[in-house]
Amino acid sequence: MTPTLTALGGGFRAEIQQLRRSRLLIVLTIAEAVTFLVLVSIFGLTGSHVPTAVVDRDGGRLARQWAQVMATSYHTYGVRYMNGRAAEQALGRGDVAAILWIPPGFSRHMASHRMIRIHFRVDNVNADLTTEAELGIPPVARAFGVANHFPGIRVVTAEKDLARHEVGFIPYLVVSALALAAFVVAGTLAASAVAREFESRTLAYLRLSPTHPLVPIAGRLLATAAVSAGAVTVAALLVVAGYGVVPDHPIEMAAALLLCVVIFSCIGAAIGTVVRRTQPLSALIFGLALALYLDSGSLEPARFYGNRLWVVAHTSPVYYAVGIIQQAVHEIQVTPETAPVNFAALIGWALLAAGAAWLGLRRAVVA
């Protein structure tokens, strides 16, 4: 074995030994990857439906059909059947955001194609939810009218899907969360490994050895990347087994996640070189990761939010990572850039980060 490989292996082994002795850190690292899935799932659950009480004072067939149309209206209403008193109490407590009263005689009026007033009460404590609730009613009325062949309503839908299949909000979110988990876990562990060299002043000692100091550090980074890959694998298995999201291209998914781990390890190393202290690293990387995550098409494709945000998103490595992973798992293209372009951009980011880390370490070594 060459001296360089021996030193690389020495650094790798030392980091594994160090991490083995920090079992709590490893447990927390794996838990961190999993908690992101839970975090985004909760986010998806809270944001996807307006909880709405339906008080059916008619009880007829068409009244039930109206409520059914509301419930199936895509990502708008979370319908709960209640009596009037319970609905008022639920609105007062904030359990529901709106109450829709179906008046007595609704079915009879509808059957004879006569107009009837529907009372819809919306809690305006949350403007976003209020607007969504208000805007949802006309499409429901239109869908209801079309289904019952009301005169004057003629809607012809010719749908041609861009994607081969539709992807649910939560399956979309949890896949993006894997990119976030890779960023946080690989970034934190790599940054800590590098920052520790500064904190313990072992960098000067490495410099005195016949091996280039960056070789054992590279060995340490390989070890943190291996551990990060393990943590992300646990999260990915949970996505498959727990959320039932089966990747269309599992090998591509694994490769994309592995690449993410490598790239975010490089970025973490660069951050560690700049910060040089282990204590603020977790908070810094978590703070960076959330901003990058939200801005990177992790919730929906970034281009939906307008040009400015879309431009900003392009500065984030998570944007390209999400693009690659969504493609690998759901086979949907969420970025205007193709997968090879996203790969190239991510590799560019990795090279940039590795270069920054190398320069920072080299500067520290010379200093």
Site for other proteins, rule CB under 8 A: 3, 6-7, 9-11, 13-14, 17-18, 21-22, 200-202, 204-211, 216
104: left (phi over 0), alpha (psi -120 to 50) or beta: beta
**Smallest gap from residue 181 Cβ to other proteins (A):** 25
Q: Please, which residue, 200 or 338, has the CB nearer to other proteins?
A: 200
Q: Give the nearer residue to other proteins in terms of CB position, either 214 or 299.
A: 214
The Cα 80–Cα 96 span in angstroms is: 9
Phi, psi of 213 (to 5 degrees): -60, -25
- What is the distance of C-alpha 202 from the center of its chain? 38
Choose between 135 and 204: whose C-beta lies nearer to other proteins.
204
Half-sphere exposure of 196 (CA within 13 A, CB side): 14
User: CB of 191: closest distance to other proteins in angstroms?
Assistant: 16
Q: How far is the CB of 51 from other proteins (least distance, A)?
A: 50
Instruction: Count CB neighbours of 156 within 10 A.
Output: 5
Measured from the CB atom, the residue of 9 and 44 that comes closer to other proteins is 9
* CB-nearer residue toward other proteins: 19 or 50: 19
* Burial of 192 per CB tally in 10 Å (0-12, 13-18, 19+): buried
Taking CA 349 as the corner, what is the angle to CA 8 and CA 240, rounded to the nearest 5 degrees?
85
Min dist CB 11 to other proteins, Å, is 7
DSSP output for 78-139: EEEE--HHHHHHHHHHTS-SEEEEE-TTHHHHHHTT-----EEEE-TTSHHHHHHHHHHHHH
User: Are the C-beta atoms of 39 and 246 separated by less than 8 Å?
Assistant: no
Nearest approach, Cβ of 29 to other proteins (angstroms)? 15
Residue placing its CB nearer to other proteins in the complex, 11 or 247: 11
